Amino acid sequence: MAAPVLAAARKMIRGEVLVAEPMSRHTSWRVGGPADLFVNPVDRADLEQAVAFARRHGIPYTVLGHGTNVLVRDGGVRGMVIASGRALDYWSVEGTRVRAGAGVSLPTLARRIARHGLTGLEFGVGIPGTLGGALMMNAGAGGGDMSRVVRWVDILDEAGEPRRLGLEDLGFGYRRSRLQGRRLVILEAEMQLEPDDPAAIQARMQQHLDYRARTQPIGTANAGSVFKNPPGDFAGRLLELAGAKGMRVGGARVPAEHANFIVNDGSATPADILTVIERLRRLVRHHHGVDLELEVEILGEDGR
Ligand X SMILES: Cc1cc2nc3c(=O)[nH]c(=O)nc-3n(C[C@H](O)[C@H](O)[C@H](O)COP(=O)(O)OP(=O)(O)OC[C@H]3O[C@@H](n4cnc5c(N)ncnc54)[C@H](O)[C@@H]3O)c2cc1C
Q: Does 270 bind ligand X (CB under 6 A)?
A: no
In whole angstroms, give the CA distance from residue 200 to residue 190.
23
Under a CB-based contact definition with an 8 Å cutoff, are residues 255 and 263 in contact? Answer: yes
In whole angstroms, give the CA distance from residue 52 to residue 128.
29
User: How would you label 4-23 residue by residue, b for 16+ Cβ within 10 Å and e otherwise?
Assistant: eeeeebeeebbbebbeebbb
Q: Annotated catalytic residue: which of 175, 212, 253, 281? A: 175
Binding mask 135-174 for ligand X (x = CB under 6 A): -xx-xxx---------------------------------
Cβ neighbours around 279 below 10 Å, total: 14
| Binding range to ligand X, per CB under 6 A, among 5-13, 63-71, 247-255, 278-286 | 63-71
Q: Which is nearer to ligand X, 139 or 247 (CB)?
A: 139
| Binding range to ligand X, per CB under 6 A, among 11-19, 122-130, 195-203, 241-249 | 122-130
Sheet-wide strand order for 61-64: 16-22, 34-40, 77-83, 61-64
| Binding range to ligand X, per CB under 6 A, among 32-40, 126-134, 191-199, 238-246 | 126-134
DSSP assignment, residue 23? G
Q: Annotated catalytic residue: which of 21, 122, 188, 295? A: 295
Q: Does 133 bind ligand X (CB under 6 A)?
A: yes
Q: Which is nearer to ligand X, 8 or 90 (CB)?
A: 90
Q: Which is nearer to ligand X, 41 or 193 (CB)?
A: 41
Interacting residues of 83 by C-beta distance below 8 A, sequence separation 6+ = 26, 38, 39, 40, 41, 63, 64, 103
Concerning whether 225 is annotated as a catalytic residue, the answer is: yes
The shares of helix, strand and coil residues in the chain, as percent rounded to the nearest 5, are 30, 25, 40
In whole angstroms, give the CA distance from residue 226 to residue 260.
6
Which amino acid type is present at position 73?
Answer: R
Q: Does 69 bind ligand X (CB under 6 A)?
A: yes
Binding mask 189-218 for ligand X (x = CB under 6 A): ------------------------------
Binding mask 102-121 for ligand X (x = CB under 6 A): x-------------------
Q: Which is nearer to ligand X, 93 or 141 (CB)?
A: 141
Binding mask 219-258 for ligand X (x = CB under 6 A): ---xxx----------------------------------
Three-state DSSP state, 142 = coil
Quote the least distance from Cβ 107 to ligand X, whole Å: 10
Q: Does 130 bind ligand X (CB under 6 A)?
A: yes
Q: Does 273 bind ligand X (CB under 6 A)?
A: no
Q: If you count them, how many residues does the chain have?
A: 304
Q: Which is nearer to ligand X, 11 or 215 (CB)?
A: 215
In whole angstroms, give the CA distance from residue 217 to residue 219.
6
Under a CB-based contact definition with an 8 Å cutoff, are residues 63 and 186 in contact? Answer: yes
Q: Which is nearer to ligand X, 67 or 247 (CB)?
A: 67
Under a CB-based contact definition with an 8 Å cutoff, are residues 108 and 87 in contact? Answer: no
Q: Which is nearer to ligand X, 17 or 71 (CB)?
A: 71
Phi, psi (deg, nearest 5) at residue 42: -85, -25
Whether the CA torsion 25, 124, 254, 228 is positive or negative: it is negative
Binding site for ligand X (CB under 6 A): 28, 62-70, 84, 102, 127-130, 132-134, 136-137, 139-141, 185-186, 222-224, 297
Residues forming the active site: 175, 225, 295
